[in-house]
Structure 1
């Protein structure tokens, strides 16, 4: 039996479905992680040079929040009100700051942080589910790339046309999220907790 070749729309629908399932699964790992940790675990200071779990959690969630603006056109959720409620020790994702600064990152109100995290993740999932999959092909950043972008993972992954919306989801949200989940799983061992996956 000969299979009918998949149309371009069919390929895009497949990509949309796959991305949504992977994002939901990764978000689920974050929910499992925060749901099985107490504030003392999250804010634990191991030693100089080792970032606390609080850093990885806030860094990824706030970078996800900010990157989503480029992907969707929607403004970030984080603002002064969220900062007043979450009470981050350092109101900064820490991307451009040294480890010597960010080892001092702490979450003040853990329950409200979890609310912020879920708000960011839910919005992303809803957008992926509702978007026109043709938008995945839209170019966000075309070459030649400025120096601050040229050395990034997304620039290395991009095709000849440049960094697309799909590249942004795959690199800025999915790959970035898995990278920091790996940090969190390792750091959980330092506070006597197990990982989330086998």
Structure 2
């Protein structure tokens, strides 16, 4: 799936990524930053490791809304733009590389570890991952499948349609 993001970025420049279609339609910049930044945050939930995104990355990438936007409205996130697409691509690659290294070194027994037990807090209860979780809660495997993979494919569909 990561190669789909690489291919998409290779076929666009900042004009495409930041294009404003019309009111109520989020730019590609939103889908790109939202997914990669949520992936970075989800990695923290799965591993306990601090996200890569920080003030230094914000200065380099220059997103206009320094937020993944999960709890924001379309009216707020319609303004999302990526200032430096090369820096964003570097950030994306760092996030993906770290995930791939973790997956390659993972003990398969870790996949069953519960990361969020039931009952789920409201911000999890309303997600797709809550629908697939077992009675005991969300596991590392659920997080990988839902937060990293399925979420990435959903946003790639948006990006492909917008391109």
Pairwise TM-score range, normalised by the shorter structure: over 0.9
Is 2:68 aligned against 1:68?
Answer: no
The secondary structure found in structure 1 opposite 2:115 is strand
Structure 1 stretch displaced more, 139-148 or 82-91: 139-148
CA shift digits 1:21-55 (9 cap, x unpaired)? xxxxx000000000110110000000000000000
Is 2:20 aligned against 1:48?
Answer: no
**Whole-Å Cα distance in 2 between the matches of residues 66 and 138 of structure 1?**
18
Cross-structure match for 2:103: 128
CA shift digits 1:138-187 (9 cap, x unpaired)? 01111122222222111100111210000000001100000000000010
Please identify runs of 4+ aligned residues in structure 1 that moved more than 2 A: none
**Whole-Å Cα distance in 1 between the matches of residues 115 and 56 of structure 2?**
30
Q: 1:168 aligns with which of 131, 143, 147?
A: 143
**TM-score, normalised by the number of residues in structure 1:** 0.81
Q: 2:154 aligns with which of 174, 179, 183?
A: 179
Aligned residues: 163
Cross-structure match for 1:103: 78
**Whole-Å Cα distance in 2 between the matches of residues 141 and 101 of structure 1?**
29
The secondary structure found in structure 2 opposite 1:156 is helix
Is 2:58 aligned against 1:57?
Answer: no
**Whole-Å Cα distance in 2 between the matches of residues 183 and 154 of structure 1?**
20
Structure 1: gaps of 5 or more residues = 1-25, 189-198
Is 2:105 aligned against 1:140?
Answer: no
**TM-score, normalised by the number of residues in structure 2:** 0.98
The secondary structure found in structure 2 opposite 1:128 is helix
CA RMSD of aligned residues (A): 0.7
**Whole-Å Cα distance in 2 between the matches of residues 119 and 145 of structure 1?**
30
Q: What is the CA-CA distance between 1:74 and the residue it aligns to? A: 1.1
Q: What is the CA-CA distance between 1:101 and the residue it aligns to? A: 1.0
Higher-Rg member (1/2): 1
